[in-house]
Amino acid sequence: MAWKKYQLVFKLLSPLHIGYRKVGNLHQTRKYVPGKVLWAALTARLTRMTGKGDSSKGYSDIGKAVANHFRFGYLWPAIFKNNNSTEQSKLEVCYPWSNTDFDFQFLNSYASTALNYDFQSSEEGTLHETEYIAPKTRENQQVYLKGDLWVEETDLPQDLKKWKEALQKIHLGSERNYGWGRVDLISNLQDGIHDSPEIIIKMKKKDKKVHLPAHVFAIVDGKEVNEVVGQVEPLLGWERDNSNSNRVWKLSNPVICYTPGAIVKIDSAFEIDAFGRLKKI
């Protein structure tokens, strides 16, 4: 099995909300795009392109195939530090832990409420704000999303052959009915960066300023991972329930993870799962 690595760069065209948590009336967004969001977006587009979008089984089958043949790195906001530059290699990823003004530069919110037409007023208790990653920074710089993608192309199923075309048509995140989550793929996917038999990320203790850019499993094979230092959260979210005809959505099983930005205490190696999460090996 050989994995070919590609670099993904999307131009953000509209507000992007990646569901995180609710604090008061504010629906917060994550500051990055998890690999699972990319997996879901590519699965949805490929399923429709193959004409199998009329059944939940079509989504389920293609979703499993995508998980077997793709590894999605997390996407992070990026900008050109030099406004005159257009080379993708000059795009600088902006991580929250190394940019103290990240929230100010990249995040904004939109207030809305449901209406009560009988009383011609807002519905009581429905006023809320939805936070989002803005397509332009406070300094009016274009925002891009940058990350890595690995594809096992040796025995790629026929349903996945047009994955490059599908990536050009995906939408990310929620609130898409309002036009949010629009992106434009600008990276060249004609040739991958390199091939490798396995996907391993190696971290050294001396790399104190190098943070892990994705969630890291805090428990592996029933044992706590103590070699990583960082905040911990139960990672879960809503996903389609294809096993129950009486409901459409269900909560995924929570997975205890170190949040993106964690560092290692000793030399460590990690493998990447289908959704971009890191597992210590």
The domain that contains 56 carries what CATH number? 3.30.70
With cut-offs at 50, 70 and 90, classify the pLDDT of residue 116. low
Q: Is 234 found in the same domain as 219?
A: yes
Boundary-marking domain end, from 178, 198, 218: 198
Quick one: 171 and 215 in the same domain? no
Q: Which of 198, 218, 246 is the last residue of a domain?
A: 198
Same domain, 204 and 180: no
Do both 55 and 185 map to the same domain? Answer: yes
d(CA 75, CA 53): 26
Phi, psi of 34 (to 5 degrees): -65, 155
Residues 37 and 166 placed together within one structural domain of the fold: yes
Q: What is the mean pLDDT of residues 35-42?
A: 97
Rounded distance, CA 5 to CA 151, Å? 7
Residues 153 and 263 in one domain: no
Helix residue ranges, H only, 70-170 = 102-106, 163-167
Q: Look at the chain and report how many structural domains it folds into.
A: 2
Q: For residues 112 and 231, state if they share a domain.
A: no
Q: What is the mean pLDDT of residues 39-63?
A: 91
pLDDT at 215 exceeding the cut of 90: yes
Among 198, 225, 247, which residue terminates a domain? Answer: 198
Q: How does residue 248 score in pLDDT terms, banded at 50, 70 and 90?
A: confident
What pLDDT score does 191 carry?
74
- Do the bridges between strand 232-235 and strand 255-258 make them parallel or antiparallel, or are there none, so unpaired? antiparallel
Question: How sure is the predictor about 207, in pLDDT bands with cuts at 50, 70 and 90?
Answer: low
pLDDT-derived band at 257 (thresholds 50, 70, 90) equals: very high
**pLDDT confidence of residue 118:** 64
Q: Which domain holds residue 88?
A: 3-198
Instruction: Give the pair of three-digit tokens for residue 22.
Output: 């609710």
Q: What percent of the chain has pLDDT over 90?
A: 64
Same domain, 191 and 96: yes
Looking at the structure, do residues 115 and 161 belong to the same domain, yes or no?
A: yes
Question: What percent of the chain stands above pLDDT 70?
Answer: 91
127 & 29 share domain: yes
- Assess whether 8 and 61 both reside in one domain: yes
Whether residues 108 and 175 fall in one domain: yes
